[in-house]
Structure 1
Amino acid sequence: MTTFLQFHLLTSYGPSNPNRDDQGRPKQAMVGGAPRLRMSSQSLKRALRESAFFALDLQGNIGTRTKRLYALLVEHLREKGVPEGDIPKAAETAAAIFGKLETSKKDEGARLATTLAFISPQERKLAEELAEKVAAGEDLPKEKDLKKMVLRRADGAVDIAMFGRMLADDADFNRDAAVQVAHAITTHASQVEEDWYSAVDDLNKAEDTGAGHLGETGYGSGIYYQYVCIDCDLLIENLDGDRELAVRAVEALARALAQTTPRGKQNSFAHHPRAHLVLAEAGRQAPRDLSGAFFAPVKEQPLMASSVKALDETRAAIDQAYGRVWDSDCRMEVGVGGTLDEIVRFAGETVRAA
C-alpha cells in the first residue's frame, strides 16, 4: 500500500505581494463567498525549487526547466573544440529530442524549443554526449531509439521526481508528480489594497515642486493555509529506487515549506515569514486536505489562534466521520511546542519506512 506524507501549514504574511496576477496585483480567489488572497501552486513550487535548502542539500540532483538546451549544447561543443561548422547540426539533433525547435525572432535568431522542457542533470549529460557523437560523424539509431539514449523515466532529479513533467512530443517519458501542492489561501476574508507612491528627483531645484515619478502597486496581508501531499512510494520510484535520496528530498522540502516564500515584490515589502504551525501526518489511507476549515472565513481575533482552532476542529471532525487517515503525526506550533527539526526528522523517517 502507498504511504502518504501530508503537510498542513499556517503562515502569516504582512503587507506584501509575493505572487502577482496579470495586472501586477496579488492573486485572489473567492472561497465560501468571501474574497481571499491566494498564492498559486506554481509560484510555491518554483520558490521551493529555488530555495537554499534545495540548492545546498540536493546539489547535483536538481533539474533545469528551459527552452534553451540548444544554446547550452552549442556552448558545450565549442568548449570541446568541435569545428564551428559541425556544431549546429549536432546541437539541434540532441536538443530536438526534448521538443521541436524554432528560430527566435526576439533573441537574435537563437534556436529555442517551442515548449519548456524539464531536463535532469543525467539527461543533460547524455544529450551532451549524443551531440559529441553527431559532431564526430558516428552512425546513430532511428529517432525512437535515439530518444532512449537520452530520455529517462526515472533518475536522480529530485524536483522532477517531486513535481513531475510533461514532454509534449513524447508522453512515454512524462513523469507523474509525487508531490501535490495546493494553492495557498488566506483563512479569513482579505482584499487587495492599493499603494500610491512617488519618487523624488534628487536634483530638483527648490522651486520645482512635485514628484519625479508617480505609481501604484497592489498588496495584501493575511494568514495563509498551505496543504502539500507526498506519495512516498512514487517519489522513490521516480528517483529510480534511491530511497536515501528520497529521504534527503523530503527533509529539504520540509525545511523549505516552513521557511520559503515566492519572491514577488520582496525588495519592496521584505516579506520573510516563517510558518506558525506545521502539522505533518503519515499514513496509508487516502489523503485529505483541511481547506474546509476555512470555507467559513475566520473572523474572531486573534486570527492566528482562531485559524489553528478551526484547523484542529475540522481535522477531528473528519477523523470521527471517516476514521483516522494518519497513523502517526508530528506538530510544531510557535509558542506552543515542537521544533522544525522534529518535523524534518519525522518526514525523513516516513519515507525511509515506506
Structure 2
Amino acid sequence: MTTFVQFHVLTKYGPSNPNRDDQGRPKQANVGGAPRLRLSSQSVKRAIRESAFFALDLADHRGTRTKRLFEGLRETLVAEGADAGEAVKAAEQVATIFGKLEAPDKKTPEKKIGTTLAFISPDEWKLAEELARKVLAGEDLPKDKELRKLVLRKADGAIDIAMFGRMLADNADFNRDAAVQVSHAITTHTAMAEDDWYSAVDDLNKAEDSGAGHLGESGFGSGIYYQYVCVNADLLVENLNGDRDLAAKGIEALARALAVATPTGKQNSFAHRPRAYYIRAETGSQQPRDLTGAFFAPVKAQPWEETSVQELERAVETIDLAYGPAYAQHAVMNVPAGSGTLDDIAAFGARAAKAGT
C-alpha cells in the first residue's frame, strides 16, 4: 500500500503582497461565494525550493530549472581551454538533448537558449558536460534516443525534481511524476485586496515644489491562509532511485520550509516574514483528503486564529466519522496552545519515508 504524508498549515500574513497577478495585485479566489486572498501553488513551491532548508541542507541534491544549458556547457568548455568556436558546436550538440535551441542572433552565435525550460538534475548536468568533452575530443556520439539515454534519468538524486516532477515535451519517456502535491493557499475568512497610494519626494527639489516627485499605487492584503500539501512517500523514494534516507531528509526539509518559507513578492515594501502557527501532519495508507472544505463558510468568529484551528479540527472529526480515519498517525504543532514543535513535525514526516509506513 502507498504511504502518504499530509500537511495542513495555517499561517498569518500581515499587510503584504507576496504573490501578484498580472496587474500587480494580490492573487484572489472566490470560495464558497466569498472573496479570498490566494497564494498560487507555483509560488509556494518556488519559495520552498529557494528556502535555506533546500538551498543549504540539500545543496548537492537540487535540480536546475533553466533554458541555458547550452551557455553553461559552452562556458565550461572554454574555461577548460577549448576553442570558442568548437565549444559552441559541442555544447549545441549536447544541449539539444533537453529540447530545441532558439535561433541565435547572428552577431552573438555563442548565445543560444533552449525553447524549453528544462529541469536538470546534478547527475544529468555532469553527464552533459562529459559528453560535450567527448565531442571536443572527436568522439562520435549516438543519435537521438540513444544519446538521450546517456544523459537523461528517470530517477536520480535531485530532491526537488523528485518532489515536484518535470515535463520534457521532446523526451516524454523521462518525465517525472510529482511526488508532492501543493494546493493553492486561501484565506480562511473573507478577504479582499486593498490599495496603497504612495509618494516619493525629490531630495533636490524640496524648496521649489512642495508636491511629490513620484506617485504610485500598490495592492496589498492580509489574512490567515490555509495550505495543504500531500506527499506520496513511496513515489518520492522511487523518484530518488530507492534512497530512503534522502527521501526522509527531503520531507524534513519540506516540513520546515512549509512553516517559514513564503513567496517574496513586494517583500522589501511589506517585510512579510510570517511563521506558521498551526501545522497538522498525518501519515498513513488511506486515500488523502484536503481540508479546504472546512473554510467554504468563511470564518467569522473572533479570534480568527483560534476559530480557524477549531474549524480545521472539526472537519477532521466529521470526515473521519463518515469515512473512517484518513491516517494512521498524526502530530500537531499549535503555537498559541503551546503544544508541539517544528522539530516534532519534521521528524514525524521523515520517519514515514524512512520506514515506508
Question: TM-score by structure 2 length?
Answer: 0.97
Match for residue 351 of structure 2? 349
Q: Could you tell me which residue of structure 2 aligns to residue 66 of structure 1?
A: 66
Shift of 1:319: 0.2
Secondary structure of 1:204 counterpart: coil
Q: Distance in 1 between matches of 2:131 and 2:354?
A: 36
Q: Which runs of 4+ in 1 moved over 2 A?
A: 103-110
Change (3 A) 1:108 1:278: farther
Residues 189-214 of structure 1 show CA distances to partners (whole Å, capped at 9, x for unaligned) of 10000000000011114231100000
User: 1:53 is matched with which residue?
Assistant: 53
Deviation at 1:106, TM superposition (A): 12
Aligned counterparts, 1:1-354, within 5 A = 1-103=1-103, 110-336=111-337, 337-354=339-356
- The superposition leaves residues 40-82 of structure 1 with CA deviations (integer Å, 9 ceiling, x where unpaired) of 0000000000000111110110000000110000001011211
Q: Give, in whole Å, the separation in 2 of the partners of 1:36 and 1:126.
A: 46
How big is each residue's C-alpha offset from its partner over 1:293-314, in whole Å with a ceiling of 9 and x where there is no partner? 0011111111111111110111
Amino acid corresponding to residue 355 of structure 2 in structure 1: A
Residue by residue, what CA displacement relative to the aligned partner does 1:98-141 show, whole Å, maximum 9, x if unpaired? 00101356995621111100000000000000111111110111
Identity of aligned residues (%): 67
| Structure-2 separation of matches of 1:105 and 1:273 | 45
Distance 1:219 1:192 in 2: 6
State the shift of 1:173 in Å: 0.1
- Of 84-93 and 5-14, deviating more is 84-93
Letter in 2 for 1:347: G
The C-alpha deviation readout for 1:236-286, integer Å capped at 9, x for no partner, is 000000110111101111100001100000000000000010000000000
CA distance in 2, matches of 1:301, 1:140: 68
CA distance in 2, matches of 1:84, 1:105: 16
In structure 1, how many angstroms separate the alpha carbons of the residues matched to 2:274 and 2:347?
Answer: 22
| Offset from partner CA, 1:142-197 (integer Å, 9 cap, x none) | 21100001000000000000000000101000000000000000000100000000
1:296/1:151 Cα in 2 relative to 1: closer, same or farther (>3 Å)?
Answer: same
Range 104-113 or range 225-234, more displaced:
104-113
Q: Distance in 1 between matches of 2:234 and 2:2?
A: 6
Partners of 1:106 and 1:263 in 2: CA distance: 37
Alignment partners' CA distance in 2, 1:131 and 1:168: 22
CA separation of 1:142 and 1:205: change in aligned 2, threshold 3 A:
closer
Structure 1 pair 189–108 and aligned structure 2 pair: CA distance change class (3 A): farther
Distance 1:275 1:232 in 2: 23
Aligned CA RMSD, in angstroms, stands at 1.2
Q: Counterpart of 2:119 in 1: which secondary structure?
A: strand
Rounded Cα–Cα distance in structure 1 between residues aligned with 2:270 and 2:181: 28
Q: How many residues align?
A: 354
Unaligned runs of 5+ in 1: none
Give the SS at the match of 2:219: strand
Partners of 2:142 and 2:276 in 1: CA distance:
52
- 1:76 maps to a residue whose letter is T
